[in-house]
Amino acid sequence: MRVLVTGGAGFIGSAIVTELSERGHDVVVLDTSALPGAIDGTGALRCVGDVRDPDAVRNALTGVDAVCHQAAMVGLGKDFADAPAYVSSNDVGTAVLLAAMAECGVRDLVLAGSMVVYGEGRYECPAHGVVRPGPRAAADLEAGRFEPRCPCCGGELSPGLVGEDAPLDPRNVYATTKLAQEHLGAAWARATGGRGVALRYHNVYGPGMPRDTPYAGVASFFRSSLARGEAPRVYEDGAQRRDFVHVTDVARANAVALEAVRGRAAGAVTAFNVGSGDVRTVGEMAQVLASTCDGPAPVVTGEFRLGDVRHVTADSARLRGELGWAAEVGFVEGMAAFGAVAV
């Protein structure tokens, strides 16, 4: 199969290119980067261009059977001034790509989604069952009250695993653009008879992760601090629950989805969570990295970012059941290897 991977020179994209190439697929990469990188040696055809450029996209789609769309601006960013850049990169870029796919007759799509579309994860109140707490108030966060409360009675909640059918509640600009990408994909599928899969990644980490940028992930921030001999600074109380999934497992999920998408129903995009199934806290992750790097112990700061959610962890049963995928890299093993890589 000939597959176009947009953003294929990036962190997740390059891992996908490697996985597809090792499986014998013919890979085309569309990326703004012309620099040598992780995809060199894979045999992939590199097309330098922006996914927002219709001519570049049409050129890259020549002879392509399926598209794996990874190109995106990621992370929470610095402030709301980033909003136009996020919308342009993520939503305009996706619209240009899908329009070109419609024109060129490419009908198979795997889209990089994100768990951020859920907002908070799944919570259960002993008195009111499953509930959806609203955004946390700044006053509560400033007072160190980090746990969401039941919107009905104000009682304590138990966090659980969030499934793909949970209500969607994006709470920052990046999350909003990721949900819009899914909606654009669904509209494309209905209009063209296309088939699509949206893989909602949970917290992806591993080799090649961006660093020293406000758009990088928390694991990268911690590792960079340790490389400088500084303690990782953990926000809130460090008890935020996340699902950390290794980039090689994410790459394999994309390959499995691409190989299965042609057999799925036309006219729809189906969402799948991509998580390890191993719930950990941000504080635990910082401790493992600090131990691996033989660095200073993490410092829990009590600081917060208003756009962050407290707990969001994946139920990946749909991906296991329908596509036969399961994570293979364990948390301690993966974080230890990640922390040991020079930065």
Instruction: Give the tens place of pLDDT for each residue, 47-100.
Output: 999 999 999 999 999 999 999 999 999 877 678 889 999 999 999 999 999 999
β-pair type (279-281, 241-246): antiparallel
216 has pLDDT over 70:
no
Distance CA 281, CA 236 (A): 11
* pLDDT number for residue 279: 96
Q: For 24, which DSSP code?
A: T
* pLDDT number for residue 215: 57
Identify the sign of the CA torsion 188, 70, 7, 262.
Answer: negative
**pLDDT band, residue 339 (cuts 50/70/90):** confident
By the 10 Å C-beta count (0-12 exposed, 13-18 middle, 19+ buried), 14 is classed as buried
Q: Token pair for residue 185? A: 């994909």
Segment among 27-31, 41-45, 104-108, 153-157 with least mean pLDDT: 41-45
Instruction: Give the tens place of pLDDT for each residue, 265-285.
Output: 899 999 999 999 999 999 999
Of 307 and 87, the one with more pLDDT: 87
Instruction: Give the tens place of pLDDT for each residue, 138-159.
Output: 999 999 999 999 999 999 999 9
Instruction: Give the tens place of pLDDT for each residue, 8-29.
Output: 999 999 999 999 999 999 999 9
* pLDDT number for residue 84: 95
* pLDDT number for residue 34: 73
321 has pLDDT over 90:
yes
* pLDDT number for residue 259: 97
Distance CA 250, CA 327 (A): 8
Return mean pLDDT, the chain: 93
245 has pLDDT over 90:
yes
* pLDDT number for residue 29: 97
